[in-house]
């Protein structure tokens, strides 16, 4: 950013450097803090550090497979452990998923507290709303990795993870019930929605569209289908975003999807790890999943990099570059609406929503639309097509966790490394990653039990 004063630069550098846990050594916020609306704007526009989501959900899901050579060459024991669902994951390492997301929360709280000291204005209200969105987004995405899945009446009293709503870095933060944790996330998003602009040309900035889209995802994850449908439908009725026609894209290019394409609602990236490198020839789209793409399905070619070793790697990220897309896009809203309609037995509406999306994903004449499906078969079809469309975005991990509570959608995931088979079974405690040891040293709280 241009014209940023040295105070905000120094503050940002100190916050970003060397922090391994959200209660690790931090700068004294009274020494170097943003003091003007311009400073806060610079802080919130630092998309490299704010627009990130955890990486270990994708790694632990069945979106991908890693061969023996690839697993052996992963850059950290934690990546290897997460891939095969070991009880111990971090092996003394810090977790970037934990530290970087709590850093987003810390920066958001700084922005909120300093904005409160400024004279009221439309710009200040907008800055507060952006900070609330970033805080809610980070809290929610952390919960998808480090907390049990939310299921009303079953897990709502189980403990989530620490909720951070201020910058008191030495304050001990207990784990709180999931129900209370999610209430705060929803409240932040609802308040943010009121003061955000309808849309932003910079899709790294929050807008009403981003807040409503994240609410749709949150409500779906909680099993609140009426509210999820309402939020998704609100997005689908807006003219600011539109579906891509995959026929207009060139599968021979390195990255077929351009940055900020018409479907992107909020641009964020999955944190970089060695398994996620586009140059890693030993990490592939799960062959079982890849075989489900039919001839004429343009996802099959737009998403795929054939490798000399026989695998098919993924290249279809909506970032338009090597970074893996972990944001929110319009296609996800179609799937949320279709699932919610199917769950209330509106087969006509669900099929129309699904077909309206999928007809933009096939060659002309290759897709005639699904028809005659209802009940559980329709719901399974919606979920299957969602998995095929949103592959490598981390969404599959969120869906695996929530669908574990419905026997019809449970599945066991298997890995094989050096002849040894590893399994992740439905409702396994290994769907929740342990809290990093260094964090427990700073903030003594109950560790996650991953013993099945």
Average pLDDT over residues 189-213: 97
CA 25 to chain centre: 27
Name the nearest CA neighbour of 373 among 347, 401, 354, 392. Answer: 347
Residue 18 predicted with pLDDT over 90: no
Q: What is the pLDDT of residue 443?
A: 86
Q: What is the pLDDT of residue 10?
A: 41
Residue 322 predicted with pLDDT over 50: yes
Whether the Cβ atoms of residue 266 and residue 328 lie closer than 8 Å to each other: yes
Whether the Cβ atoms of residue 159 and residue 177 lie closer than 8 Å to each other: yes
Residue 413 predicted with pLDDT over 80: yes
Q: Per-residue confidence at 6, pLDDT binned at 50, 70, 90?
A: very low
| Rounded Cα–Cα distance for residues 137 and 47 (Å) | 13
Average pLDDT over residues 115-138: 98
Both structure tokens of 99: 């530290």
State pLDDT tens for residues 353-401: 999 999 999 999 999 999 999 999 999 999 999 999 999 999 999 999 9
Look at 439 and 275; give whichever has higher pLDDT.
Answer: 275
- 3 state DSSP class of 53: strand
Number of other residues whose CB lies within 10 A of the CB of residue 77: 15
| Rounded Cα–Cα distance for residues 291 and 287 (Å) | 6
Look at 288 and 9; give whichever has higher pLDDT.
Answer: 288
Both structure tokens of 239: 């003219």
Average pLDDT over residues 254-272: 97
Both structure tokens of 194: 């009121």
Q: Per-residue confidence at 32, pLDDT binned at 50, 70, 90?
A: low
DSSP states of 217-279 as a string? HHHHHHT-HHHHHHHHHHHHT-SS-----GGGS-TTSS--SPTT-TTEEE--EEPP-GGG-TT
State pLDDT tens for residues 333-359: 999 999 999 999 999 999 999 999 999
Strand 159-162, strand 175-177: pairing: antiparallel
Strand 52-53, strand 269-270: pairing: parallel
Number of other residues whose CB lies within 10 A of the CB of residue 403: 16
| Rounded Cα–Cα distance for residues 203 and 213 (Å) | 13
| Rounded Cα–Cα distance for residues 154 and 177 (Å) | 12
Q: Per-residue confidence at 444, pLDDT binned at 50, 70, 90?
A: confident
Whether the Cβ atoms of residue 348 and residue 233 lie closer than 8 Å to each other: no
Domains in the chain, please, with CATH? 6-247+325-430 (1.25.40.390)
Residue 16 predicted with pLDDT over 80: no
| Rounded Cα–Cα distance for residues 81 and 77 (Å) | 6
| Rounded Cα–Cα distance for residues 63 and 58 (Å) | 7
Whether the Cβ atoms of residue 71 and residue 80 lie closer than 8 Å to each other: yes
Residue 325 predicted with pLDDT over 50: yes
Please tell me the pTM assigned to this model.
0.94
Residue 210 predicted with pLDDT over 60: yes
Residue ranges with strand state E in 99-174: 159-162
Q: What is the pLDDT of residue 27?
A: 42
Both structure tokens of 288: 């079982």
Q: Residue 147 phi/psi, 5° resolution?
A: -120, 155
> For the chain, what is the mean pLDDT?
93
Residue 19 predicted with pLDDT over 90: no
């Amino acid at each position: 950013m241009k014209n940023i004063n040295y105070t905000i630069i120094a503050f940002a550098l100190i916050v970003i450097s060397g922090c391994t846990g959200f209660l690790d050594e931090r700068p004294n916020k009274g020494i170097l803090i943003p003091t003007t609306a311009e400073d806060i704007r610079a802080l919130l526009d630092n998309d490299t550090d704010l627009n990130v989501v955890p990486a270990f959900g994708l790694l632990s899901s069945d979106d991908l497979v890693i061969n023996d050579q690839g697993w052996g060459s992963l850059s950290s024991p934690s990546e290897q452990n997460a891939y095969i669902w070991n009880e111990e994951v971090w092996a003394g390492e810090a977790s970037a998923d934990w530290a970087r997301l709590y850093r987003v929360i810390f920066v958001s709280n700084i922005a909120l507290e300093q904005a409160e000291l400024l004279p009221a204005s439309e710009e200040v209200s907008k800055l507060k709303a952006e900070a609330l969105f970033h805080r809610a987004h980070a809290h929610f995405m952390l919960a998808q990795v480090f907390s049990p899945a939310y299921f009303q009446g079953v897990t709502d009293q189980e403990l989530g993870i620490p909720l951070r709503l201020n910058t008191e870095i030495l304050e001990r933060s207990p784990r709180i019930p999931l129900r209370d944790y999610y209430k705060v996330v929803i409240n932040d998003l609802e308040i943010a929605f009121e003061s955000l602009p309808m849309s932003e040309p910079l899709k790294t900035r929050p807008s009403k569209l981003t807040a409503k889209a994240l609410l749709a995802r949150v409500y779906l994850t909680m099993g609140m289908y009426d509210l999820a449908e309402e939020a998704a439908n609100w997005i689908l009725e807006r003219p600011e975003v539109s579906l891509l026609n995959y026929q207009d894209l060139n599968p021979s290019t390195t990255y077929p999807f351009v940055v900020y394409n018409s479907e992107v609602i909020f641009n964020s990236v999955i944190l970089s790890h060695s398994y996620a490198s586009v140059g890693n020839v030993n990490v592939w789209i799960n062959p079982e999943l890849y075989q489900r793409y039919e001839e004429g399905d343009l996802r099959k070619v737009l998403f795929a990099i054939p490798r000399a070793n026989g695998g098919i790697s993924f290249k279809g990220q909506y970032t338009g570059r090597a970074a893996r897309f972990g944001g929110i896009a319009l296609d996800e809203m179609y799937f949320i609406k279709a699932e919610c309609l199917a769950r209330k037995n509106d087969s006509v509406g669900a099929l129309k929503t699904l077909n309206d999306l999928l007809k933009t994903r096939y060659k002309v004449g290759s897709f005639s639309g699904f028809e005659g499906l209802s009940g559980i078969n329709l719901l399974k079809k919606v979920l299957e097509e969602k998995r095929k469309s949103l592959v490598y975005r981390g969404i599959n991990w969120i869906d695996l966790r929530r669908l574990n509570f419905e026997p019809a959608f449970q599945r066991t995931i298997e890995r094989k490394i050096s002849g040894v088979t590893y399994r992740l079974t439905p409702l396994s405690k290994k769907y929740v990653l342990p809290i990093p040891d260094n964090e427990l040293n700073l903030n003594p709280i109950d560790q996650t039990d991953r013993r099945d």
